[in-house]
A and B are shown apart, each in its own frame.
Chain A
Amino acid sequence: MTAAPEHAPTMAQSSLRDRLAPYAPLLLVPLLAIAGFIAVQNPASWMTLTVSGLAMGMMIFLMASGLTLVFGLMDVINFGHGAFVSVGAFIGISVLLTLGQLTNAPSLALNLLAILAAVLAAMAATALMGWAFERVIVKPVYGNHLSQILVTMGGLIIAEQLIIVLWGPEEIYFTRPEALKGALTFGDAAIEKYRLVTVAVGLAVFAAMRFVLRRTKIGLIVRAGVQNGEMVAALGYRLRLVFVGVFIAGSALAGLGGVMWGLYQEVITAHMGNQAMILIFIVVIIGGLGSVEGCFIGALLVGLLQNYVAFVEPKLALVSNIALMVAILMWRPMGMIPVVKAK
């Protein structure tokens, strides 16, 4: 009979490199900002570009976060997500246009009230639409990616055409509320007020999402569901209900993003959702499917890069996002912060 082996625990600590690896994507945003500074070479323009890049990133994040959660949680790839963006923008802007008295008044409070009303209307409408979309279009095709892509694509077409039926085929131009027009100047850098509002809204939504996902029971179930849905369902949680909730919340966020995007560009078209889809997909892919943090970082990267490149070499702006996606996927084939296992 041999003696039990001596108890000799090894206290190996993983190297600094290994421990830092998960946080590496976080460094990309400041790195990109520094690279942008070197490329732009003018502190004032750099400041302006950075803020507008961040603003754009925040809006893309709003639109993309719902999609990435839905994919992670229920393995549904929704090519019709852009429909919520367009519908949100059209409803929000219609509300703003009818509230002309509030938006034309030079008072910030009244303006914000009008915007709040528009945002709430848009979010309510897109939440309802998301619910219907899930019931009617997505529900019959769970578990079949090919059908999902085809069917949600059909949903996007229908939504786009219905917008044209209801609002007419022309693009709608409008101006932002009085108090949000114009720019603030910090030294030499001029920063549009609206972009600051966008950054604030984006940060607030991100913080709220993080809080819900990290600190609440619902968030725990959602995160667990993204990791392993079957296990969560086996534990007795009605994951389907949670999923519908996430779908609705994601749609509402896309609607919010649509209103912000419409106000940013001061023009809305029925195709804007379709155009936004491209950016949304890039962000979802490079962030890693199912990851809200990855989505946030990805959106900021896309927004910043697009603004810097558009300033330095306008013709390359279109290709820059694709190049970013290629680079990130070479580095991490599953996206920056992968959550969902390979399927």
Chain B
Amino acid sequence: MMHILLSGDLPRSRILALLLAVILICLAFAPFLFPGVRTVDTAARICIFVVLVASYDLLLGYGGIVSFAHTMFFGMGAYGVALASTHMGRGFDALLVGSLTGAGLAAGLALLIGLFSLRVRAIFFAMITLAVASAVAVLVSQLSGLTGGEDGLTFKTPRELGPAFKFGTELFGGELLGVKLNGRLLTYYLIFAGSALLFLALLRIVNSPFGRVLQAVRENDFRAEAIGYRVVYYRVTATCLSAAIAALSGSLYAIWLRYVGPDTTLSMTIMIDILLMVVIGGMGTIYGAVVGATVFVLAQNYLQNLMGVLSGMTEGLPLLPELLSPDRWLLWLGVLFILSVYFFPSGVVGRLRGQR
């Protein structure tokens, strides 16, 4: 059963298995284990980023393709849901139509970019995606009539997903283990289930024959071509799949936040976050996405508090308070980034698996 569910790609390390189990249990019961608006929000963010990072890992870790347009696809899913909900009115049909349209458009755009640039040269792809993604980000903030510009769009999700919706009042008195049974709880489980499904789908993809060929292409595209695989076909397909899944995770993000804006979905900062999560977790291991996203989101949410404390403690010293101020979080991220590429190239998962 486990074998089928995980597509035969077991963690292959006792510590890793334990770690993954703990993360899974924490996420599955987050509203009950850690009640509180902020903690549940963190858990939902982790779920969404696990999928986003895993979809990026399909490209970077399995395909060896560096793309900077991943937030663009993420944003397409998010804006899809937002626009559908604004124009079609609140309802599950709007969510569905928005997500599917977003994913479809993302896959289409990925196909276009891929067909045109993947056959040229690997290094071009990184630069071209960076250029296209930034053009789209600027375009989104300029076309304020459609996308709400810098302010973004706030929209309503179905009533059943709102905090005002209560259920189980007769059965449990509206509370289970001290947690109010309302629409937010339902939303959380919608996000959790959606993320879990997408994650398992990704695991299935990378462990299929397709995933194996992709790895072969990553290792040596010349030989893969010589054996008879159409390298361009595999690369383009991987790009499209990864784009569509990123868009779906963007849809989940929009449903959770009930808001989309350029800063939350399209900014370069998020792209860098994704890169770092992949590197920390370990490239080429879908499980790395789980570890990377969890560690990163937790650090992002709680390390900033610590930095604030440290900054306060070093008040009198020159320069140090500014270096340690919570706003300079990105600076330490950059340092961490470089150090992990040098000293930790296989990431947490690679390390753990290598220990056996």
Contact = CB atoms under 8 A, between A and B. Distances in A.
Contact of B334 (A157, A321, A329, A334): A157
A157 B116 contact: no
B338 A155 contact: yes
State the main secondary structure of chain B at its contact with A.
helix
A8 interface: no
A319 B272 CA distance: 24
B331 A285 contact: no
B306 interface: no
A284 B127 CA distance: 10
Nearest to A137: B338
Interface of B: 60, 64, 66, 116-117, 119-124, 126-128, 130-132, 134-135, 138-139, 142, 268, 272, 275, 279, 319, 322-323, 327-328, 330-331, 333-335, 337-338, 341-342, 345
A255 to B, nearest CB: 20
A151 B272 CA distance: 11
B279 A150 contact: yes
Given A157-B272, A319-B139, A326 B338 contact: no
A154 B135 contact: no
B319 A165 contact: yes
Interface in A306-343: 315, 318-319, 321-322, 325-326, 329-330, 333-334, 342-343
Contacts of A319: 135, 139
Given A329-B117, A343-B123, A157 B139 contact: no
Interface string A152-192: 01111110111011000100000000000000000000000
A143 interface: no
B130 A281 contact: yes
Contacts of B138: 318
B120 A343 contact: no
A315 B142 contact: yes
Interface string A129-145: 00000000100110001
A44 B333 CA distance: 50
Contacts of B319: 165
A147 interface: yes
A140 B339 CA distance: 11
A278 B131 contact: yes
Given A151-B341, A281-B131, 9 more contacts: A137-B338, A147-B345, A154-B337, A162-B331, A164-B327, A282-B127, A326-B116, A329-B117, A343-B122
22 contacts: A77-B126, A146-B64, A146-B66, A149-B66, A151-B342, A153-B337, A154-B338, A157-B334, A165-B319, A169-B327, A278-B130, A281-B127, A285-B124, A289-B123, A318-B135, A321-B131, A322-B132, A325-B128, A329-B117, A334-B120, A343-B121, A343-B123
B331 A157 contact: yes
A274 B328 CA distance: 17
Contact of A333 (B120, B131, B272, B322): B120
B2 to A, nearest CB: 32
A157 B334 CA distance: 6
A16 to B, nearest CB: 29
Given A140-B342, A281-B130, A158 B268 contact: no
Contact of B128 (A145, A164, A285): A285
B326 to A, nearest CB: 12
| Residue of A150, A275, A277 most packed against chain B (CB within 10 A) | A150
Given A274-B268, A333-B120, A318 B139 contact: yes
| Residue of B60, B64, B131 most packed against chain A (CB within 10 A) | B131
Contact of A158 (B122, B275, B322, B335): B335
B331 A158 contact: yes
B123 A145 contact: yes
A161 B328 contact: yes
A154 B64 CA distance: 19
Given A161-B328, A165-B328, A285-B124, A153 B272 contact: yes
A319 B142 CA distance: 12
Contact of B341 (A147, A285, A289): A147
A272 B142 CA distance: 19
A322 B72 CA distance: 15
A161 B123 contact: no
A268 to B, nearest CB: 19
B341 A154 contact: yes
